Amino acid sequence: MHKTALVLFSGGQDSTTCLAQALSVYDRVETIAFDYRQRHRVELDARLHVLEELKRQFPHWAQRLGEDHCLDLAVLGDVSETSLTREMAFQMEANGLPNTFVPGRNLLFLTLAGSLAYRRGLEVIVTGVCETDFSGYPDCRDDTMKAMQLALSLGMDRRFLIETPLMWLDKAATWRLAESLGGAALVDLIIEHTHTCYLGDRQHRHAWGYGCGSCPACELRLRGWQQYRQARLV
């Protein structure tokens, strides 16, 4: 029975929901984030507010919440030519992938998370990747996660479990999962404190939270919110 976990926690809706689930299941949960010079680096500040609010509003989870880690991955920003790391318009590329795709990002994240989990004695690595309601990123696929789990376990000679609670959920289902875990309080926390917008907009407040309202991340979050709210009215 696994008792400890490391959550890849960016401070967005998905990773906050994953963190809440991990805190509901595991005795000790630590968090990790990465600064890769993303355009929306405001998420690195937002995530700290989310952690504080989780501790304040959910004291039973606060007892399980351990150390937070943030690693400097400037090198990833240096080698990436994407709309998440450069000032450029969001668009589809010739290969069929959006230019928000940062090649190798999740592979690198999981490798470093595995190294930290090894040192900290953590058994499970939790990540909010999703193959159901996503942009087609190949490093978010279930097969990629299974391959990374095997590679990390073999390469470090320690059995790791990579857990993907959102893999088969759309955004509406992610809102519902948050509600099931923490009720209206967690939903309100996600709206008010998490950050998803690729442009780092914290000025414009919508029913679903802060953001520009037009980037791919905002559009996805909005659509999920509308479907979630509509289902609750039926």
In tens digits, the chain (234 residues) has pLDDT values of 899 999 999 999 999 999 999 999 999 999 999 998 887 788 999 999 999 999 999 999 999 999 999 999 888 777 777 666 666 666 667 777 666 677 788 999 999 999 999 999 999 999 999 998 766 788 899 999 999 999 999 999 999 999 999 999 999 999 999 999 999 999 999 999 999 999 999 999 999 999 999 998 999 999 999 999 998 876
pTM: 0.93
Domain count, the chain: 1
Q: What is the pLDDT of residue 38?
A: 83
3-state class of 188 per DSSP? helix
51: domain CATH number is: 3.40.50.620
Q: What is the pLDDT of residue 71?
A: 96
Phi, psi of 119 (to 5 degrees): -65, -35
Side by side, which strands form the sheet with 124-126?
65-72, 28-35, 4-8, 124-126, 161-163
Q: Give residue 151's domain range.
A: 4-233
Q: What is the pLDDT of residue 103?
A: 79
